[in-house]
């Protein structure tokens, strides 16, 4: 792996820091204990990964544009005993050469070195995972946080430097992370390829009596079978009324004849996420009532897509989606009055309680940047309708239906490109996909002998 791209990103951030008269302190993610000697799966902090490509825990990057040695990495020392149990470490000696840093120190020296490393700057910009602890011995979070809190409240002396304020590193980085370069786009596209296979496999495998957990296993096996690939977030595999729980992750019910199945699941490829939702009939054929709701949601997505264009406010595409959904609810006699009256009262939020999209990238809900769409950004578009089973304003045939359709788009010069265009979405396409042979989408599962 080349770390050139991460070096370039650090250089760009250093330019920004210089203008702001700030230093940056960016901590890695840390290991979280599940029990005894078992940790939760480790995933590097996105900003730390973006700037270093270095995927070990217990590390801190300090960037100071006012020092000769501008890039400093603190990391774990080599430790043959620990490496026997938990894997290889890069170590302090190799870090500079491998990661193109100016200097590196063992993490235990962070506290001691910090004052000298932050000289020349009047502001600290930082990103520390909340309750960051390097180990039970090194509670550096407390240390940094106490300094930052003090500096927020009043000018403080840190070594020879007066620290007069702090900046959110996310704000400084958002103008970089929001715009995807070619290597990032390649990862995003690979995530879509793998996600397409998984959703198609799930559509083809789905049938009454199948467990939500089985579809989860099927989809996530597709993700994990691919190199540098995994699950971007906890998958939602929600049959029937479970779809009305927006972040349903129990995934432990059996699918029933006549129900819809909502699947919100995406792969993460080389750290970049896909975030895709499809809703389809468990038995492969939409009922007329399901079709009606599906068509409204699809129309909301198509109309709001017209507003995914550089220069337009991101808030506007949400408004457009809401207007289409509200019109649909009025047509179904679920809401009374006009579209504008309902937009004012917000009554519709009972049936559409979430936003229409968010930026996408290293994080599934990615770093926010500005209010407008701009070329190079990636966004989701994910309208839905959720009609409670016990809502007497909803005609009986529509009760308990939950539908969301979510795609991912990259902003181009004058519009957008749908990155997830290959994943079936039109009613006929979806019904055809449900009739497919699921083995077609698992072509890599061949006899290894
Ligand atoms: N998968 C979470 C979301 O769609 O925002
Ligand atoms: Mn989303
Ligand atoms: Mn989603």
Task: Please give the residue that has the higher pLDDT: either 128 or 289.
Answer: 289
- Give nearest CA residue, ligand 1 atom 5: 365
Mean pLDDT of 49-74: 95
The reply to whether 382 belongs to the active site is yes
Q: Pairing mode, if any, of strands 123-127 and 165-168?
A: parallel
Q: Which residues does a 6 A CB cutoff place in the pocket of ligand 1?
A: 233, 264, 275, 364, 382, 406
Q: pLDDT tens-digit profile of 284-314?
A: 999 999 999 999 999 999 999 999 999 999 9
Residues with CB under 5 A from ligand 3 (ion): 264, 275, 277, 406
Separation of 168 CA from ligand 1 center, angstroms? 24
The reply to whether 36 belongs to the active site is no
Q: pLDDT tens-digit profile of 13-54?
A: 999 999 888 888 888 888 888 999 999 999 999 999 999 999
Separation of 216 CA from ligand 1 center, angstroms? 16
The reply to whether 407 belongs to the active site is no
- Rounded-to-integer distance, Cα 186 and Cα 189, Å: 5
Q: Kindly identify the ligand whose nearest atom is closest to the C-alpha of 233.
A: 1
Mean pLDDT of 360-382: 97
Ligand 1: nearest atom to the Cα of 382: 4
Catalytic residue among 126, 205, 272, 386: 386
Residue 51 in contact with residue 26, Cβ under 8 Å? Answer: yes
Please name the residues in contact with 390: beta carbons below 8 A apart, sequence gap of 6 or more. Answer: 399
- Rounded-to-integer distance, Cα 181 and Cα 134, Å: 32
Task: Please give the residue that has the higher pLDDT: either 281 or 157.
Answer: 281
Ligand 1: nearest atom to the Cα of 354: 5
Catalytic residue among 184, 406, 407, 416: 406
293 to 179, 385, 393, 403: CA distances (angstroms) = 35, 7, 15, 7
pLDDT score at 21 = 83
pLDDT tier at 442, thresholds 50, 70, 90: confident
Ligand 1: nearest atom to the Cα of 380: 4
pLDDT tier at 165, thresholds 50, 70, 90: low
The answer, yes or no, to whether residue 132 has pLDDT greater than 80, is no
The answer, yes or no, to whether residue 366 has pLDDT greater than 90, is yes
pLDDT tier at 160, thresholds 50, 70, 90: very low
Mean pLDDT of all residues in the chain? 91
The reply to whether 142 belongs to the active site is no
Mean pLDDT of 323-335: 98
The answer, yes or no, to whether residue 128 has pLDDT greater than 70, is no
Please name the residues in contact with 86: beta carbons below 8 A apart, sequence gap of 6 or more. Answer: none
The answer, yes or no, to whether residue 255 has pLDDT greater than 90, is yes
Q: pLDDT tens-digit profile of 84-116?
A: 999 999 999 999 999 999 999 999 898 788 878
Q: Pairing mode, if any, of strands 272-273 and 277-281?
A: unpaired
pLDDT score at 127 = 63
Catalytic residue among 34, 43, 152, 247: 247
Ligand 1: nearest atom to the Cα of 365: 5
pLDDT score at 4 = 95
The reply to whether 404 belongs to the active site is yes
pLDDT score at 166 = 57
Residue 125 in contact with residue 23, Cβ under 8 Å? Answer: yes
- Give nearest CA residue, ligand 1 atom 4: 275
The reply to whether 247 belongs to the active site is yes
Phi, psi of 52 (to 5 degrees): -125, -30
pLDDT tier at 125, thresholds 50, 70, 90: confident
pLDDT score at 443 = 78
Share of the chain above pLDDT 90, in %: 79
The reply to whether 365 belongs to the active site is yes
pLDDT tier at 323, thresholds 50, 70, 90: very high
> In this predicted structure, which of 146-150, 212-216, 266-270, 358-362 has the lowest mean pLDDT?
146-150
Residue 280 in contact with residue 433, Cβ under 8 Å? Answer: yes
Ligand 1: nearest atom to the Cα of 236: 1
State the burial class of residue 153 (Cβ atoms within 10 Å of its Cβ: 0-12, 13-18, 19+).
Answer: exposed
The answer, yes or no, to whether residue 147 has pLDDT greater than 60, is no
pTM over 0.85: yes
- For 296-322, give one letter per residue: b (16+ CB within 10 A) or e: bbbbbbebbbebbbbebebebbbebbb
What is the biggest distance separating any 2 CA atoms in the chain, rounded to whole angstroms?
73
pLDDT tier at 248, thresholds 50, 70, 90: very high
> In this predicted structure, which of 55-59, 251-255, 339-343 has the lowest mean pLDDT?
55-59
The answer, yes or no, to whether residue 139 has pLDDT greater than 60, is no
Mean pLDDT of 378-383: 98
- Give nearest CA residue, ligand 1 atom 3: 275
Q: pLDDT tens-digit profile of 404-440?
A: 999 999 999 999 999 999 999 999 999 999 999 999 9
């Amino acid at each position: 792996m080349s770390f050139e791209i991460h070096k370039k990103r650090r250089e760009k951030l250093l330019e920004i820091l210089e203008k702001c008269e700030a230093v940056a302190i960016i901590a890695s993610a840390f290991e979280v204990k599940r029990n005894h000697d078992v940790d939760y799966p480790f995933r590097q902090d996105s900003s730390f990964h973006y700037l270093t490509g270095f995927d070990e825990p217990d590390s801190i990057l300090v960037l100071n544009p006012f020092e000769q040695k501008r890039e400093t990495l603190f990391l774990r020392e080599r430790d043959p005993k620990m490496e026997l149990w938990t894997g290889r470490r890069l170590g302090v000696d190799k870090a500079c050469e491998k990661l193109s840093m100016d200097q590196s120190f063992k993490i235990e020296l962070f506290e001691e070195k910090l004052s000298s490393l932050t000289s020349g700057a009047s502001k600290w910009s930082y990103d520390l995972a909340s309750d960051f602890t390097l180990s039970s011995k090194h509670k550096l979070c407390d240390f940094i946080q106490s300094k930052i809190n003090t500096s927020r409240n009043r000018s403080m002396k840190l070594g020879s430097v007066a620290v007069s304020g702090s900046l959110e590193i996310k704000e400084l980085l958002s103008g970089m992370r929001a715009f995807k370069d070619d290597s990032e786009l390649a990862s995003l596209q690979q995530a879509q390829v793998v996600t397409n296979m998984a959703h198609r496999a799930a559509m083809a495998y789905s049938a009454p009596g199948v467990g939500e957990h089985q579809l989860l296993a099927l989809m996530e096996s597709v993700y994990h079978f691919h190199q540098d690939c995994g699950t971007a977030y906890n998958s939602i595999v929600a049959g029937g009324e479970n779809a009305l729980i927006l972040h349903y992750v129990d995934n432990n019910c059996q699918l029933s004849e006549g129900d819809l199945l909502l699947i919100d699941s995406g792969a993460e490829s080389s750290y970049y996420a896909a975030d895709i939702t499809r809703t389809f009939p468990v038995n492969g054929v939409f009922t007329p009532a399901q079709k009606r709701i599906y068509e409204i949601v699809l129309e909301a997505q198509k109309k709001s897509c017209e507003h995914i264009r550089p220069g337009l406010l991101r808030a506007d595409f949400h408004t457009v989606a809401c207007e289409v959904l509200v019109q649909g609810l009025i047509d179904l006699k679920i809401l009374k009055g006009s579209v504008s009256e309902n937009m004012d009262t917000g009554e519709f939020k009972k049936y559409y309680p979430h936003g229409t999209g968010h930026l996408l990238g290293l994080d599934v809900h990615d770093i926010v940047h500005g209010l407008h769409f701009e070329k190079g950004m990636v966004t989701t578009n994910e309208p839905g309708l959720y009609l409670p089973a016990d809502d007497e304003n909803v005609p009986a045939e529509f009760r308990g239906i939950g539908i969301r359709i979510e795609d991912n788009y990259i902003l181009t010069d004058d519009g957008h490109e749908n990155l997830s265009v290959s994943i079936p979405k039109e009613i006929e396409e979806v019904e055809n996909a449900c009739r497919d042979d699921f083995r077609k989408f698992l072509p890599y599962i061949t006899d290894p002998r």
